[in-house]
Amino acid sequence: MSSKIQPVSITAYTATTACGVGRSALLQALTNRQTGLRPNDFGPSPLPTYIGRVQGLEEQALPEAWSVHECRNNRLAWLGLNADNFLEQAKAAVARYGADRVGLLLATSTASIGASEEAYSRLTEDKRFPEDLRRSTVHHPHSLGDFLGRVLGTRGPCLTTATACSSSAKVFAQAERLLRLGVIDAAIVGGVDTLCGSVLFGFNALELVSPEPCRPCDPARRGINLGEAAGFALLERDGAPDAPRLLGWGESSDAHHMSTPHPEGLGARLAIEAALARAGLSADQVDYINMHGTASQKNDEVEAGLIARMFPATTRASSTKGWMGHTLGAAGIVEAVICLLALEAGLAPGCLNSQSLDPVCGPQIRLDNEHAPLRIALSNSFGFGGNNASLVFQRGQV
C-alpha cells in the first residue's frame, strides 16, 4: 500500500492545443463547448478522419538562435513555452534555486520523428538526407529535452519519458519523487507531441482512427482523433496558498497485452488506488475525473466500467478528447491542465460530441458541462502496453 505524501505546489502551468494558445483559450473552448477538431488536412495524402491541429504552426519558425533545433515538435514546444508567461516563470525558478537544482522532466511519444520522415522522403541521389535536415539535433528521441534544456538553462536531471499516452502524466510522479528525495528544489515538467505520418497511418493500421469527430463513451463511437499539443507545469515544494497542489500519483502496468487494456481494468484500478492512497483520500472525496477516454471501443468500456464500480454517483467524470483529440505523449499534461482549470473555474466539462452514453457507463459520466464547486480532481492516463498513470490534484485556497 502506498503511503501519504507531502503535497507539491504547482506554481505555474499552461497548455497549447487545437483549441488555442494558453489557458484562457482552452478554458473558453471548454466553457463554450467549441471543438478544435477539423477535417484532416495534414500531409500529402490525408486520411479521412478529423485531427486536432494547432493553427498556424507552419508559419512560426524558431528564433534564429535556436534554428539548429528547427522541427515541428520544437516549434510547438516553443509556442507552448511562451504562453501564459511560462518561460519567464520557469527562468525565474532557475535563477531562484540555481540551474543544478531544477529538474527538466519531459514527455513525448514521437519526439521530432516528423523531421526524420521528411528527410527520408527527400533523400538525395546518393541516399543522404537533404542538406537542410542534416542536423543530428532533430533525429533522436531526446530532441525535445536537448532543445528545452538549452532554452531554459537547467543543469539538473533532464529526462525524456516515452510511454505512449501516459508519458506526460508520469513526469508529475518523477518530479514528486525527485523533490521528496532532495535531488532537486523545483521541477519543470511538460509534454509535447505533434502530428506526423507515423502516428496517423500507424493508428489507422490498427483500425483505431474515427472518420468523424470522436465520441467518447458513446455506444456509437468509432475510434480516436489524433491531435497535437504542448503543456508545461512548474512544481515546487512550497507555493502561495492559492496555488493548486499535486496530492498523489499512481503508476502500474497491466502486464496483459500490447494494445488492449486488461478486461477488468486491473492495472488502471491499481494506479487509481495508489494515487488516492498517496493523497490520503477515499474515492468519495473526488469531485471530478478526467478520463483517458479515447473513444476507442475497449478503452472506454473498461475505464467507464471501472469508474462505475469505484466511485459514487456524486463524482462527475468525462473525457475531454472531443475538444482537441488524443494528443498522445502530451495528453497527460493537457488533461492535468484541464483538471486545474476545472478546479479553478468550478467547471466540470462533459463529453463533447457524444449523443448518448454506453450502457456500461455509470451516473458519474456526464454529457453536458456542469458548474459546481470542485476541490479534488483525478486525471487518468492509460497507455499502450498497459502502462497506467493517475494523478490527484487539489484546488488552491480561495
Instruction: Please write the tens of the pLDDT for every residue from 190-230.
Output: 999 999 999 999 999 999 999 999 999 999 999 999 999 99
Grid coordinates belonging to 52:
486536432
Which run of H or of E encompasses 232? strand 229-236
Q: Which of 164, 391, 384 is nearest to 254 (CA)?
A: 384
Distance CA 341, CA 335 (A): 10
Pick the catalytic residue from 158, 165, 196, 361: 165
Whether residue 20 has pLDDT greater than 80: yes
Note if 326 is an active site residue: yes
* Residue 343 pLDDT class (50, 70, 90 cuts): very high
Q: Which of 80, 56, 381 is nearest to 230 (CA)?
A: 80
Half-sphere exposure of 89 (CA within 13 A, CB side): 20
Distance CA 97, CA 114 (A): 35
Grid coordinates belonging to 89:
516563470
Residues whose CB is less than 8 angstroms from the CB of residue 231 and which lie 6 or more positions away in sequence, other chains included: 13, 14, 15, 16, 80, 168, 190, 191, 192, 330, 333, 334, 336, 337
Note if 142 is an active site residue: no
Which run of H or of E encompasses 316? strand 316-318
Predicted TM-score (pTM) of this structure? 0.97
Pick the catalytic residue from 71, 292, 339, 351: 292
CA distance to 122, 123, 134, 193, 263, per residue, from 118 (Å):
6, 9, 11, 16, 39
Whether residue 25 has pLDDT greater than 90: yes
Which run of H or of E encompasses 197? helix 197-205
Note if 140 is an active site residue: no
Distance CA 289, CA 388 (A): 15
- Contact present, 35 and 353 (Cβ < 8 Å): yes
Task: Tell me the per-residue pLDDT of 133-150, one tens digit each, with 9 for 90 and over.
Answer: 999 999 999 999 999 999
Q: What number is the average pLDDT over the span 156-175?
A: 96
- Contact present, 99 and 154 (Cβ < 8 Å): yes
Whether residue 398 has pLDDT greater than 80: no
* DSSP state, residue 98: -
Predicted pLDDT of residue 260: 83
- Report the phi/psi class of residue 198: left, alpha or beta, with left for phi > 0 and alpha for psi in -120 to 50: alpha
Grid coordinates belonging to 84:
501564459
Grid coordinates belonging to 29:
473552448
Distance CA 212, CA 346 (A): 30
Predicted pLDDT of residue 259: 78
Q: What number is the average pLDDT over the span 273-301?
A: 97
Grid coordinates belonging to 257:
497485452
Whether residue 234 has pLDDT greater than 90: yes
Helix axes 266-279, 297-310, angle to 10 degrees: 50
Pick the catalytic residue from 214, 262, 326, 351: 326
Predicted pLDDT of residue 190: 98
Pairing of the two strands 102-107 and 158-161: parallel
Q: What number is the average pLDDT over the span 55-63?
A: 93
- Report the phi/psi class of residue 226: left, alpha or beta, with left for phi > 0 and alpha for psi in -120 to 50: beta
Of 385 and 123, the one with more pLDDT: 123
**In this predicted structure, which of 29-38, 106-115, 149-158 has the lowest mean pLDDT?**
106-115
Q: Which of 164, 189, 210, 157 is nearest to 321 (CA)?
A: 210
